[in-house]
Chains A and B, each alone.
Chain A
Amino acid sequence: MIYRETGQFKTTYASDVQLFPIVQDRVVVIAFLAFAFCVVPFVASDYLFRAILTPFLILSLAALGLNILVGYCGQLSLGTGGFMAVGAYAAYNLAVRMPDLNLIVVLVLAGLCSTVVGALFGIPSLRIKGFYLAVTTLAAQFFLDWLFARVGWFTNYSSSGSVAAPPLALFGWHVEGPVRKYLFVLSIVCVLALLAKNLTRGAIGRSWMAIRDMDVAAEVIGIRPLHAKLTAFAVSSFYVGLAGALWAFVYLGAWEPLAFDVNRSFELLFMVIIGGLGSILGSFLGAAFIVILPIALNRLPAALGIPLSTATVSEIELMVFGALIVFFLIAEPRGLARLWAIGKEKLRLWPFPH
């Protein structure tokens, strides 16, 4: 009853195809963004920023990238951790070797480096499909892992292989402290999420979805598979690389190649599947789920007053994680985004039953 479109007439094509055609949607989104930008910096605790919000935002950006590849274009990729590493090390090298570059330029260039690498490793997708492709993307993952551990140039010849991000500053505004880092990452994620949403609504997104659904039919009607798949890999790697650079610079501060290993790839894939394949909102929901779940599981025994050793808590975490994944897949294989969509559908009728 509240959430209905009656009375909202569109008089131009532009207003018809806008991002949030229903007024209520627009209001909620704007209110939510206002809350995130203006209220949260003042009310949330340091811990909430450092340990939950900032990693959630960065990982949702990476999940967004992976969703474009897996959800919209149907190319299963397990090499996401490696592409994050490319972005992180590219940003590091740019920042260290050209210290006068603007931070945004560094991040964008790092994303572009990752784009090139991603497109390169995406070339086999023209011949290889399905699980075979997934396993070959693992080649990218392990190769990149090795590359950053072995070739000294990437780590500026640091003897330990561990590198540290330089202090971040944007036009004199130092990105230090939990609140500033949060706002910085939030702005970047908002811009990029908008970009992703529009990409997927446009011609290029439609070509991706066509390839995903029936690639032979798509080719028959004139969509070039080479173009579609490589652009999917390229755009996806841009997002993932940029997220990797943010992860390294803003969240970790100092890192080594193991920070981007194959477990990271699986974690991102979980986010995308649980959040919902082929949905921008799904990437965010999935990321929130995966970021919050281990922390919640860790604190729950203490909160409930049951004393358990850290080892047991860790193992229970693993078990619950695995069980929840299976549970989610059975209950709603299309992910949390689908649940959200169902909820919205019900809201349109509420409180009427039909």
Chain B
Amino acid sequence: MPSRRSLLTAAFFALLAVAAVVPMLIGQAKFPQWLEIVLGGLMSGVLYALVALGLVLIFKASGVFNFAQGAMVLFAALCLVRLMEKVPFVVALALTLAIMVALAWIVERVVLRPLVNQEGIVLFMATLGIAYFLDGFGQIVWGSDVYTLDVGMPKEPKILFEKTFEGGILVSTEDLLAALIAALLVASLAFFFQKTPTGRALRAVADDHQAAQSIGIPLNRIWVIVWSVAGLVALVGGIVWGSKLGVQFSLQQVALKALPVVILGGFTSIPGAIVGGLLIGLGEKLSEVYLGPLFGGGIENWFAYVLALVFLLFRPEGLFGERHIDRV
């Protein structure tokens, strides 16, 4: 007999699926437009998942809710785009990677090590402090203009099936490429975690800090590695988002979008980040286009959070998050 928890979850998903399909069946919404929105939503979702990945990585390995992930995305993108003005792309990429590793090292040394036994909320606030610092620092060093990041992403959309459907189905090639890049990143991360010794060490640390320490895994070095990997993920996210929106201050707002993804998927799960991202992206766009006009528009900002909230009510640790056992 499946548990009440999984029944409720299944019911929730069924409800979501119905809600997603209903607009297509009633009234004006036609299939090709619905499909466009679904595709658009799924692809935005992948982009959110990209940022959420960094959050999950750090939380898994060090138990820190890294609110500075958005600032890291912006910082990485800024470094890259400004360096690209002076040196070719590949060199700029390598330099930026080096900068992100250095950043990881500094963060570990200056912030994480002194705060090693503090409560989660203190570490969270420390990452907020890091976010503010990176914000100001990035703008002082690289400037606060809007910089165009041109990595050759196509800007014009593709219109498919023009003969079958009126107007065709619009597919953003840029988003499609971004989704592919994200998939590649996830695949390489999965490979890294499963097959390489460092990856295994990271999983050990994520499982149990003390046990990992007792078998000789150096926690400090692991944390530097994790933050570096998160920095790499931030860089990829920065490239993708920066190419879409231009590298500017508001790029870090996308981190706020990654939060419902993380809570929906579970703070400690990488597949959770992907699935959560897809769900949130889909839910957001569908709700904005079909529910939005009923409410006057602009609902996507909070809809994602409300969706995650409702979901958490019967799965308090998210879709794939670890069950939290309270012991007295």
Contacts and interface: CB of A to CB of B under 8 A. Distances in A.
Nearest to B313: A127
B120 A130 contact: yes
Nearest to B144: A311
Contact of B136 (A132, A220, A317): A317
A124 B324 CA distance: 16
Contact of A323 (B129, B299, B301, B326): B129
Q: Which 9 A-B pairs have the closest CB atoms?
A: A318-B136, A322-B133, A322-B132, A325-B129, A139-B305, A319-B136, A142-B302, A326-B129, A143-B302
A315 interface: yes
A322 B326 contact: no
A76 interface: yes
B115 A139 contact: no
25 contacts: A124-B313, A128-B316, A131-B65, A138-B256, A138-B259, A139-B306, A142-B305, A149-B298, A150-B296, A214-B328, A269-B125, A270-B128, A273-B121, A273-B122, A312-B140, A314-B136, A315-B136, A318-B136, A320-B136, A322-B130, A322-B132, A325-B128, A326-B111, A330-B115, A333-B118
B140 A217 contact: no
B219 interface: no
B328 A139 contact: no
Contacts of A266: 128
Contact of A135 (B133, B260, B328): B260
A76 B121 contact: yes
A321 B137 CA distance: 11
Chain B contact residues (Cβ within 8 angstroms of A): what range?
Answer: 35 or more
B306 to A, nearest CB: 5
B105 interface: no
A145 B299 CA distance: 10
A220 B328 contact: yes
A201 interface: no
Interface residues of A, number: 50
Contacts of A350: none
A136 interface: yes
Contacts of A320: 136
A23 to B, nearest CB: 36
B133 A326 contact: yes
Interface in A135-174: 135-136, 138-139, 142-143, 145-146, 149-151
| Chain B interface main SS type | helix
Interface in A228-272: 262, 266, 269-270
A268 to B, nearest CB: 12
A320 B136 CA distance: 9
B9 interface: no
Contact of A319 (B65, B133, B301): B133
Contacts of A143: 302, 305-306
B290 interface: no
Nearest to A123: B313
Given A138-B259, A146-B298, A326-B111, A316 B328 contact: no
B126 A136 contact: no
B134 A322 contact: yes
A28 to B, nearest CB: 30
Contacts of A262: 256
Contacts of A217: 328
Interface in A301-354: 311-312, 314-326, 329-330, 333
Contacts of B314: 127
A15 B136 CA distance: 52
Contacts of B75: none
Contact of B131 (A149, A269, A322): A322
Interface of A: 70, 76, 124, 127-132, 134-136, 138-139, 142-143, 145-146, 149-151, 214-217, 220, 262, 266, 269-270, 273, 277, 311-312, 314-326, 329-330, 333
Interface in B291-326: 295-299, 301-302, 305-306, 308-309, 312-314, 316-318, 324, 326
B114 interface: yes
A312 B259 CA distance: 30
Contacts of B298: 146, 149-150
A136 B328 contact: no
Given A135-B305, A322-B130, A325-B128, 17 more contacts: A124-B309, A127-B312, A136-B305, A142-B301, A146-B298, A150-B297, A215-B326, A270-B125, A314-B136, A315-B140, A322-B133, A322-B136, A323-B129, A326-B126, A329-B129, A330-B111, A333-B115
A311 B136 CA distance: 10
A119 B134 CA distance: 36
Given A136-B305, A216-B326, A329-B115, A319 B128 contact: no
A330 B114 contact: yes
A329 B326 contact: no
A132 B316 contact: yes
Contacts of A146: 298-299, 301-302
A216 B125 CA distance: 26
Contacts of B296: 150-151
A277 B115 CA distance: 17
Given A128-B313, A322-B133, A325-B132, A135 B115 contact: no
A128 B324 CA distance: 11
Contacts of B262: 135
Given A127-B316, A132-B316, A319 B137 contact: yes
Contacts of B301: 142, 145-146
Interface in B108-128: 110-111, 114-115, 118, 120-122, 124-126, 128
B267 interface: yes
Contacts of B305: 135-136, 138-139, 142-143
B225 to A, nearest CB: 21
B125 A273 contact: yes
Contact of B295 (A131, A150, A316): A150
Contacts of A321: 129, 132-133, 136
A56 to B, nearest CB: 21
Contacts of B131: 322
A131 B318 CA distance: 12
